Structure 1
């Protein structure tokens, strides 16, 4: 497999769209959270992401509205604006036996810590994880496009994540982001173990000297 170092927005625009095709489960009560964590604790690696209601007023911000946690087949959407931050969810993030994979995790955790204090453990930051493979881009959309030749839609990014009911498009968007983090990690782990990849060579332009 040839791993590109970078990709352009024009390249991505021509690619087919990827969407999570597994089961999306909304978590709106603490009881729901307990059942979800019981399921997630069976997995060794999980993809995670978060969403926050955008603010269009200078100086005003909102707390994290949603935390997405994905396996290959399921994605749980924890509606933090409704349920707060249950202890079982803290226990999951602090569990050193489960790998949590995401992108821009520093920002995610800074925002999550505004809700509750906890010490996340065994987390993989994809922006750092991709570097040994020669990938220079840092956005989830570009990293995924480089590796899979598909684009992640960002059309719902600035939607209202504290709406009474999240639309099917919002749910799909949120689940896809967490799930694609997991897919990237899984593929790169396989490539690392097999060595079955090469970095795309960057050809520097030749600048000819002008005749004096």
Structure 2
């Protein structure tokens, strides 16, 4: 039986919630050798959470390439600094692997950003925006879906920061890890009731 969830949640209801934090390990990937090791580790999982970050543009016509790709298990999140390493072959192979389910939100935007860096076609991805409706959830934002399911809020304070910065701050790293991890948690929660 499918557990009934709230259809929607208001901004005021979210504001009153406790802030969620990612408490797992965060591993920055800044070279191809570390990328190969990270992908080797991630290939042992059936499913992972997925997200990307791109430096925001505040000028008309100005666009930046994808800066960061986050891939998370339940207890560790790898932050691939694409602005410094691009998308190495091992990561391309991971993106097109049909062995691992990669769970994200608003994937069309992520795929568009990935296409600017590689010609690889991402395979076996699940977009939560297209998935949560069957559980009665009418919201499309990660923050609202997470709040409905877990009664906690995801802070968006770091969203518009410079993801191309030479050093990512701890708040940036935690924000980036949380989004990918939250996608995995949402999927697992929804499927534990089936």
TM over 0.5, shorter chain: yes
Partner of 1:12, secondary structure, is helix
Name the CA distance, whole Å, in 2 between partners of 1:58 and 1:95: 36
**2:147 matched residue in structure 1:** 145
**1:129 matched residue in structure 2:** 131
- Using the size of structure 2 for normalisation, the TM-score is 0.98
| Total equivalences in the alignment | 192
Deviations 1:142-176 (A, max 9, x none): 00000000000000000000101000000000000
Partner of 2:192, secondary structure, is helix
**1:92 matched residue in structure 2:** 94
Larger Rg: 1
Query: Which structure 2 residue ranges, 5 or more long, are not aligned?
Result: none
Q: What's the CA shift for 1:121?
A: 1.0
**1:208 matched residue in structure 2:** none
- Using the size of structure 1 for normalisation, the TM-score is 0.90
Q: What's the CA shift for 1:2?
A: 3.8
Name the CA distance, whole Å, in 1 between partners of 2:134 and 2:70: 27
Deviations 1:12-36 (A, max 9, x none): 0000000110000000000110010
**1:83 matched residue in structure 2:** 85
**1:72 matched residue in structure 2:** 74
Name the CA distance, whole Å, in 2 between partners of 1:112 and 1:3: 33
Name the CA distance, whole Å, in 2 between partners of 1:45 and 1:78: 18
**1:53 matched residue in structure 2:** 55
Name the CA distance, whole Å, in 1 between partners of 2:44 and 2:4: 33
Partner of 1:67, secondary structure, is strand
Deviations 1:31-50 (A, max 9, x none): 11001001000000000000
Partner of 1:156, secondary structure, is coil
Deviations 1:71-116 (A, max 9, x none): 0010000000000110100100111010000000011011111111
Q: What's the CA shift for 1:128?
A: 0.9
Superposition pairs for residues 57-206 of structure 1, below 5 Å? 57-191=59-193, 193=194
Name the CA distance, whole Å, in 2 between partners of 1:30 and 1:155: 30
Q: What's the CA shift for 1:119?
A: 1.2
